[in-house]
Structure 1
Amino acid sequence: MAQIARCIIYVSAFLLLASYIEARFLKKNFPKTDPSENVRKFLTGAVQAGGLDSIRNIENVRSKLSQFRQSKRKIAATTSDALLAAKAKNIQKLRQQDDEEPVDTIGDINQGLEQFLYDGDMMLNDAQANQLTQQTRQKRQAYTSATARWPKNAPIPYTIDSSINDTTTVKLIHDAIAFWQNMTCLTFKEDNKTSPRIKFYNGAGCSSYVGRVTSLQEQLISIGDRCGYFGIIAHEIAHSLGIFHHQSRTDRDNYIDIVMANVPAGWEDNMDIQPLSNNYGISYEYGSSLHYAEKSWFHIQSMGNRNMPTFADVQLINKYYTCSSACSKTITCKNNGYQNPANCSKCICPGGFGGDDCSKVADPEYGASNCGGNLTATTSWQTLIGQVGESSTVIYPRQAACHWHVNAPEGKKINIKVNYVRGPCSLGCFYGSTEIKLGNFTLTGVRLCCSSDIASNSQFQTVGNLAVISAHSQLAVEKFSLQYMISS
């Protein structure tokens, strides 16, 4: 494995802290998926959308996926790394002590649909399916087909089917569309006549086509009964705009390890490197909303998120659609922010930063209030206790968040000692976390939410003179206590 990946794994192990988790917040597991019902609902929706042509496409995709997976299974059978497998076992053993909350993942929700969906939740058209066996290696994540992009000079037409009759889900769809419209040069319009158009419907699980599919009048985005979260809906819209999963990048082996022996049958393509897309120079983002969460076949903590697209996710869409040309006059953005193509007088800021030019602490988000702010480190230890969320067993559609900046004089670094983190423990910290950014503020920081985030050393040190601390909560209260001082 490349040195950068070894370094990141080491830093994660070195810096994670003792996390005191209070009690289990969700008393029941999520309902089990009926795979046969998923298949029935999926095929019914496909017939309604495209008739026999849709069925022919599905059969071609299923055949190509089966061939592709057989070839991947043979490769996996000859790939064995005893040391990596041992590391994965140790991590699984460490996880067993976690009082982990149940998480309804897209993989759980989409059971039974593996035969039809690529990489867990992506529907393919015939051309994409045929290319599975004709792959060439390039550094890509966004689909490069000439017709995959939606035109920038006209709104992207979409419609919400009457099968989605829950007002909360309808609002979340509008919110997710507004997010992409407010952060990119793309616009959207409800329109049930122009084609091709996106159709949101209550289908089997959570899924979407990749990019614009000109052969269809309506290309479906399935928002099933258990997909009603802002992060999931924004994730599926990103696929429809032409974006593959983050861990499909051809450079991913420099950043993560995959234990192929632990990958279940039918999931081989989920671990595949995707050659039909472009990374556009975006740094590898572990916390991307398009990255899988850590499971037994990965071993880096805090990958993926179900909260919202990250700064890097948005930047990828803007580069893919060459949105930098949207503004006739340029403005200066701080802390690696960049001009917002949807509002040329303001900047798009990395997580934790706010203000028109990204020079301030971000305001509290999504219902949070009276929290966050600027702190100044001195040569003596000071304590910060922060929290966000409310005492409730309700899983909210979005995460509330509060942000703190810890500052030191230019040329100085900051030491941080974490006393505790309290809140729900979950796969990928899906329900909330305490996040600490030490240097590259454009990427997700170290996220902490489980008791397995324990190491003998709980001390951090910043790269420069700024640390960004964020607390996120989608369930119950996320609370932390830490100390900070100027490094001597």
Structure 2
Amino acid sequence: MYRISVLFVLLGLSLTNAYPLHSPVIIFDLSVYGKALFGQPKLAEPYVLRTQPRVASDEEDEHPEESGDYLEGDILVPESSISMRSSPPRVSTTWPNGVVPYEISTTFPQDDVDTIMRAMELIQNKSCILFIPHTTEKNYISITNQYKGCWSAVGRIGDKQEVNLQLPACTKKFGTPVHELLHVLGFPHEQNRNIRDDFVVIVNQNIKADFMKNFKIDEHGQDFGVIYDYGSVMHYSQKAFSINGDPTIVAIKKREPGVEMGQRTNISDSDVARLNRMYCETETSSTPISVET
């Protein structure tokens, strides 16, 4: 699919005409995140080109997006990207026409580039989203590996927008780049949705004190008629930010066999439904739909 986007660029075709707008641009309210959304990413250890892939142990960074020093573990707008503005952005939007220009740092080894591209292809194949190589577009994402952790902003904030995938942890599981790219497209974390209390219990006594803010409900979030999904690639694991190794997120409803909180192997059916209602339908239905995962 991404080869098609390259062809559009080479032929100089208008993406607006070749890939028409499917739905109005949606505005996301970022005020729920407060000042914690903005910060300076910590530098990772200097990247060293490797002759063979490094392998993170099963214990190390099993859920790397949960172990970051950022808001909810992996949500960040670097201060450098807003330094030229009079004030930080309080809103973000969907990407017009569902088109996301991107660049990938040349410091990624080819096997990691392949993982990132597969994540993009998966999203494209399940929706009307189109990732295109960045050329002259003002607004685009820049995928790097120079900082600590896996992180992204939520939605399109404008200008060059960094997405970090530290090696080796953030490309070890295919679903981690998918998770971060869905943040780019406007997805919040599943356990922070405004309907979550009907589906999970947050066990406060098991959460590290400094991380209680990571479970704040997004009261302004939009559901797009998609029911809560324990198996969403955007859901955190049952022991996320645990101080004692006990669960911090407990399901209230019965889960289908095999559905795992915090899975990072694939995009779920509800993720696909939400993505298509955000970007690919001329009208967004308010009627809840149930999907099996």
With the length of structure 1 as denominator, give the TM-score of the two structures. Answer: 0.40
* Percent of paired sites with the same residue: 29
Tell me, in whole angstroms, the C-alpha distance in 2 between the residues paired with 1:280 and 1:108.
25
CA deviation profile, 1:96-117 (whole Å, cap 9, x unmatched): xxxxx63623457744x2xxx2
Partner of 2:107: 163
Contact 1:287/1:443 (8 A) holds in 2: no
CA deviation profile, 1:211-246 (whole Å, cap 9, x unmatched): 0012xx311110111111320001000000011000
Tell me, in whole angstroms, the C-alpha distance in 1 between the residues paired with 2:88 and 2:198.
27
Partner of 1:177: 120
CA deviation profile, 1:232-288 (whole Å, cap 9, x unmatched): 001000000011000111111111111111110221122110123201111110111
Tell me, in whole angstroms, the C-alpha distance in 1 between the residues paired with 2:66 and 2:222.
29
Counterpart selection for 1:102 from 49, 56, 59:
59
Counterpart selection for 1:201 from 129, 133, 144:
144
Partner of 2:26: none
Counterpart selection for 2:271 from 304, 313, 316:
313
CA deviation profile, 1:394-439 (whole Å, cap 9, x unmatched): xxxxxxxxxxxxxxxxxxxxxxxxxxxxxxxxxxxxxxxxxxxxxx
Counterpart selection for 2:224 from 266, 269, 280:
280
Where do residues 277-426 of structure 1 align in structure 2 (5 Å cutoff)?
Answer: 277-295=221-239, 296-300=247-251, 302-321=260-279, 323-325=280-282
Contact 2:156/2:184 (8 A) holds in 1: yes
Contact 1:159/1:198 (8 A) holds in 2: yes
Contact 1:208/1:239 (8 A) holds in 2: yes
Query: AA paired with 1:211?
Result: G
How far apart are residue 179 of structure 1 and its match? 1.2
Taking structure 1 as reference, are residues 293 and 110 closer, same or farther at Cα in structure 2, changes over 3 Å only?
closer
Taking structure 1 as reference, are residues 129 and 260 closer, same or farther at Cα in structure 2, changes over 3 Å only?
farther
Taking structure 1 as reference, are residues 317 and 121 closer, same or farther at Cα in structure 2, changes over 3 Å only?
same
Contact 1:199/1:221 (8 A) holds in 2: yes
Taking structure 1 as reference, are residues 107 and 261 closer, same or farther at Cα in structure 2, changes over 3 Å only?
farther
- Rg larger for: 1
Find out whether 1:224 has 2:177 as its counterpart: no
How far apart are residue 120 of structure 1 and its match? 1.2
What secondary structure is seen at the aligned counterpart in 2 of 1:277? Answer: coil
Partner of 1:141: none
Where do residues 39-188 of structure 1 align in structure 2 (5 Å cutoff)?
Answer: 64-65=35-36, 102=59, 104-107=61-64, 110-111=67-68, 113=69, 117-124=70-77, 145=91, 147-152=92-97, 155-164=99-108, 166-188=109-131
Contact 1:106/1:206 (8 A) holds in 2: no
- Structure 1 unmatched runs, 5+: 1-61, 67-100, 132-144, 327-337, 339-439, 445-488
Tell me, in whole angstroms, the C-alpha distance in 1 between the residues paired with 2:186 and 2:65.
24
What secondary structure is seen at the aligned counterpart in 1 of 2:122? Answer: helix
What secondary structure is seen at the aligned counterpart in 2 of 1:222? Answer: strand
How far apart are residue 130 of structure 1 and its match? 7.9
Taking structure 1 as reference, are residues 270 and 204 closer, same or farther at Cα in structure 2, changes over 3 Å only?
same
Partner of 2:292: 443
Paired residues in the alignment total: 214
Partner of 1:465: none
Contact 1:110/1:204 (8 A) holds in 2: no
How far apart are residue 299 of structure 1 and its match? 2.5
- Structure 2 unmatched runs, 5+: 1-32, 38-57, 240-246, 284-288
With the length of structure 2 as denominator, give the TM-score of the two structures. Answer: 0.65
Query: AA paired with 1:65?
Result: A
Query: AA paired with 2:223?
Result: N
